[in-house]
Every structure is written in C-alpha cells, then in structure tokens.
Amino acid sequence: MAKVFLTGGTGFVGAHILHELLVYGYTVVAAVRSSWKGQRLEQRYTDELGDRLSTVVVEDISKEGAFDEAVQTFPFDFVIHVASPFYLFPKNPEEDMLKPAISGTLGLLQSVKTYAPSVNRVIVTSSFAAMENPTSHPPVYSEECWNPITYEQALDPSLAYFGSKKLAEKAAWAFMLEEKPSFTLTTICPPLIYGPVMHHLDTLNDINTSNEFIRDVILGKFQEHIPPTPLYLWVDVRDVAHVHIQALDAAGAESERFLVVAGHCDNKAIIDVIREEFPQLAPILPPKILPGDLPLNVYQYDDTKVTKILGLRYHSLRDSIKATVATLLDKGDGLEKVVRPRCLI
C-alpha cells in the first residue's frame, strides 16, 4: 500500500487525517516536533493500525533543510503538509507564525523535490483564511479568491494568521511554477472546522483554536450573551480529513485548490444545538431568546469543485457540534468539576 509523509499529525485536523490514512491501509510516517510527542502518537495505535505508523522528529520546520532527512525515511508516494501555527495574535508574528508557515511549506517542497523523487502528489492544508477579505467580501467565495494581505501587513499580530496562510499557499503555487518538480500540488481551503477531538490534550486549555468557542460555551463562559461570530462558514473535521485522503489520487484533483464548506452558521446556531442535544448544560448556556448574528445577505460560497471531483458529502452542523461536545465532555477532567455539579440538578 502507498506510503504517506504527514506533518501536523499531533494536531486537531492532522490526527483525523492520520487516523483515516491508517484505516484506509496507508503506511504513514508522521513528522513531529519532539521524540516524546512521537512516542505519545505511536502509543495511541496499539492495534494493527499502529504497525503502519512511525514518527520522525523535525524540530524546527522553519530551518533550511529541516525536512531533508525525514523525507528519505521511505520511498514515499504522497506528502500531506498540515503543520502550521493556528492561533490569533502571536507575540512575534514573523518568527512565531510567518516563518514556520511559509518557510515550512517551501522547505518541505524543496526537500521533496531534491530527496524524494518517488512522491507523486503533495497536499497542503491551506485555509479559507487565505481567501477571506473581511473588509470587502465578494458576493460568492470560490477558489479564485485570495485575501489582499501583504507580508508587511501580516506583521500586525491581528493579521498574522491570515497572512501566513495566504503567503504560504501563494509561495507553494509559485514554487510549482518556477521549480517544475515531478510531483503535483493540491491545496485544501476549509473555513472554521469543528468536530470530535482525537488528538492528545493535557487539559482543555490546550484545545485547538477553532474549538475554543465550543469549549468556552460548555464551561459556562457565555451565560448572559453570545459573542460575535468570527466567520459564518464551517465544516466538520472528518470531512476535511476525508478530502485530504481523496485528493491523494483522485483524477482531476492535481494542481487544484479546493474550497471545502459544509454551510453557513452563527454562534447562536451552535449554542442551540448544544442546548437541544445536551439538556444538562442548559443552565449554563445563554438564554434561548437571544438573537443570532447571521446576516440575511451573508456572502455565499461555491463548493462545486470539491463535491464534483472529490465526491464529498458533508456532516450536518448538529452531528458535528454534538460530536465535538461529546468528546470535550469526555476529555475534560476540569469540565467534569465545573459543569456537573452546577447543571446535573
């Protein structure tokens, strides 16, 4: 079976991609930042799936040649590059976010070109953040869209993440044009991702950025109000993982950029699902009568390409939020203490 080199397998999205790769029978080498993270990841798979998983340490993906050795572990068929810092307001936007995102992506492409000639296709996890223009939304978002952020603007902490995703993806496409490697490139652009949390969390404080809101809701942080929705588009993590795996060898997926969106939603819609599916949490949720903020004339999106070429069918918002909350309740020792005594009356 084919061999995949994966980055970001210790995170929210990457853990699902790793799991689906193993279930589909791929052999996977996951690049991790330290040997103990690698051991912890390998220990998760104590059954026969684990026979096809190994890890390799790449300490600093920003460093020149960081991936040179790692991509020679096996004659790989595919590479999936998920690793990139995802949080808002980095202390040092250039060092903490722009360099790992841009140099990490370019460095990996260069290492594959030089040292891994067997690779057919590289998939890069980009983002709707690379497309979004918050000051002037187009009527319909599609794969044609790019945010207007420059490198200089991305040095502003509030824009750093958006800049990092756009500049890293642009750099990857430019690499393909200039270097003409023997592999093809596909990029995946999801908006806010929710869904079950599979990766290791020491505490719920370590939750990934896109699930922070749901964690805070079930910790009772918003009992009187609903905070503004940051983005009105969402998708389930299992669908995002599935698209990455489908894109590895689907005909027509090469050299394409895919916008992957399940639908519109606002924070109120998420809280309503939580109230209905977890009635024990109702006492610590904001009142049902509070309005949502999804505009009537909200921007639309065109996901024709992903449904046509990759045949994707999306999880519903109810299913996604229900699964997210269920795993958080399960994981959260702290949550047990905070939530149970107050709402299981």
Measured from the CB atom, is 33 or 118 closer to ligand NDP? 33
| Complex with ligand NDP: residue 231 or 298, whichever CB lies closer | 231
Question: Can you give the binding site for ligand NDP, defined by CB under 6 A?
Answer: 8, 10-14, 33, 37, 61, 82-86, 100, 125, 127, 165, 190, 192-193, 208, 210
- Pairwise CA distance, residues 22 & 144, whole Å: 33
Shortest distance (Å) from residue 64 CB to ligand NDP: 14
Other CB atoms closer than 10 Å to residue 301's CB: what's the count? 21
| Closest to ligand NDP by CB, 208 or 229 | 208
Three-class secondary structure of residue 51 per DSSP: helix
Smaller CB separation from ligand NDP, 214 or 335: 214
Q: Which is nearer to ligand NDP, 201 or 285 (CB)?
A: 201
- For residue 52, give the DSSP letter: G
Six-digit token pair at 115? 């040292």
How many whole angstroms separate alpha carbon 284 and alpha carbon 205? Answer: 19
Nearest CA among 303, 300, 266, 302 for reference residue 286 = 266
> Scanning the structure block, which residue is given the tokens 């990455």?
244
Least distance from C-beta 2 to ligand NDP, angstroms?
A: 22
Nearer Cβ to ligand NDP (208/267): 208
Query: Nearest distance from residue 342's CB to ligand NDP, in Å?
Result: 28
Least distance (Å) between residue 305 CB and ligand NDP: 17
CB of 318 to ligand NDP, least distance (A): 18
CA distances from 27 to 75, 77, 79, 113 (A): 11, 10, 12, 21
Where are the alpha helices (H) located in the chain, listed in sequence order? 12-23, 35-44, 99-115, 160-179, 212-218, 237-249, 267-277, 304-310, 317-331, 333-343
8 Å CB contact between 5 and 73: yes
Q: Which is nearer to ligand NDP, 186 or 208 (CB)?
A: 208
What does the alpha-carbon distance between residue 100 and residue 84 come to, in Å, rounded to a whole number?
A: 7
DSSP letter (8 states) at residue 331: H
Q: For residue 271, give both structure tokens.
A: 């809280």
State which residue, 171 or 343, has the beta carbon closest to ligand NDP.
171
Chain residue whose CB lies nearest ligand NDP:
11
Give the strand pairing for 263-264 and 233-236: antiparallel
Shortest distance, position 235 Cβ to ligand NDP, whole Å: 8
